[in-house]
Structure 1
Amino acid sequence: MLKKLVLILGLILATSTHAQFYKQGNFVTDLEQGIIWLRCSLGQRWDPTKDQCQGEAMRLSHAEIDQAILQANEQLGGKWRLPSLAELEGIVCLECPAPKIDKNIFPNTASEPYWTSEANWIAPRSRWSVSFMTGLKYGRFFPQQQLAVRLVSDR
């Protein structure tokens, strides 16, 4: 009986996670956080026939990200930006195997750190990232280092 209850609770958790997101091709609306995510990492392209992100995630420094955001704004419209630490942590799936993210919502995500927009308040020269290998946040990367990027836009 206890095993059945755990399985049922696990199913409820998985279902509620899916209810947070509304997929629309290359975009996904995060209803809980009130933002829109690009489903693919920068450097990847959306393949609607396979419902999949194709290619490899680019690794960019913060200076390079500024140029990438300008291009995203031109090509996709809207105002794209790096996610905050809380926003990026909000799409981590700790129950998932690496990458620690719902692969149905965010396909082909790299199992590595992704940049956030926030400086580390303890070590201000460093920036926060979230690793989709571990699901944990790290505040040890310098802005000139190159990490993977996923962009977000306010609704």
Structure 2
Amino acid sequence: MLKKALLAVTCSVLMAGNAAASLQSCYNDLPNSAPDIRFQDNDNGTVTDLQTNLIWRRCLLGMTWNATTQQCDGEPSVYSWKQALFQTELNYQDASESGKSWRMPNIKELVSLREVACISPALNLQAFPGLFREEADKWEMNRTVWSATPHAQSQTILTFGLNDGMTTHFGPQDVELGVLLVKDGK
């Protein structure tokens, strides 16, 4: 009985991974900019980017990491930029780890996640599984995330599209977007 249950869980995880991968289009003739070996699974709902030494939450705010399925559950929350800053400051300050707290990443840190060989989404799905579960998720505003970087020539904030890898900018109160948190590694 236990073997059957374990087999069923394993199959469902593999099928979920294949379903997510089928949502993504990749070019075989381009080298990967964010290959699987670049990310170390920390077995706690985070991954360490071995190139930048940043630790990323694998799920957007509002989603929770499911260790059994190795996926993000739930729907991402959306916030204005000011609300996102407030939520991060209020709920994700964790001084217990050498003063390293979760924060909103700057635009360069977000762009470093972009997988240039893939689109829809332009993100490593092994490192960030479950952010896109179905085709409609690609076009949701909660799959575009706020950065901590203001636009140089306007009073707007730079954002990063997880689906297309594009940077755009919006006024801090104009739209509600998703949030992906990061903290400094070693």
1:103-151: CA deviations, max 9, x gaps?
111112253321110000021x111001122211112x11112111100
Task: Give the whole-Å Cα distance in 2 for the aligned partners of 1:80 and 1:16.
Answer: 22
Q: How many angstroms does 1:17 deviate by?
A: 1.6
Q: Say which structure is richer in strand.
A: 1
Does the CA contact (< 8 Å) of 1:27 and 1:39 recur in 2?
Answer: yes
Specify the alignment match of 2:157 in structure 1.
Answer: 127
Specify the alignment match of 2:171 in structure 1.
Answer: 142
| 1:107 is the counterpart of 2:129 | yes
- Structure 2: where are the runs of 5+ without partners? 1-26, 133-137
User: Which of 88, 92, 95 pairs up with 1:72?
Assistant: 92
Specify the alignment match of 1:47 in structure 2.
Answer: 66
Specify the code of the residue in structure 2 equivalent to 1:122.
Answer: Q
Does the CA contact (< 8 Å) of 2:119 and 2:164 recur in 1?
Answer: no
Task: Give the whole-Å Cα distance in 2 for the aligned partners of 1:142 and 1:29.
Answer: 31
Does the CA contact (< 8 Å) of 1:82 and 1:117 recur in 2?
Answer: yes
Task: Give the whole-Å Cα distance in 2 for the aligned partners of 1:41 and 1:24.
Answer: 17
Specify the alignment match of 2:182 in structure 1.
Answer: 152
Specify the code of the residue in structure 2 equivalent to 1:52.
Answer: Q
| 1:58 is the counterpart of 2:89 | no
Specify the code of the residue in structure 2 equivalent to 1:100.
Answer: A
Specify the alignment match of 2:147 in structure 1.
Answer: 116
- Structure 1: where are the runs of 5+ without partners? 1-5
Residue identity (%): 26
Specify the code of the residue in structure 2 equivalent to 1:130.
Answer: F
Does the CA contact (< 8 Å) of 1:113 and 1:148 recur in 2?
Answer: yes
TM-score (norm 2): 0.70
When residues 46 and 76 of structure 1 are mapped into structure 2, their CA distance, relative to the original with a 3 A threshold, is farther
When residues 54 and 16 of structure 1 are mapped into structure 2, their CA distance, relative to the original with a 3 A threshold, is closer
TM-score (norm 1): 0.83
When residues 58 and 88 of structure 1 are mapped into structure 2, their CA distance, relative to the original with a 3 A threshold, is same
Does the CA contact (< 8 Å) of 2:57 and 2:182 recur in 1?
Answer: yes
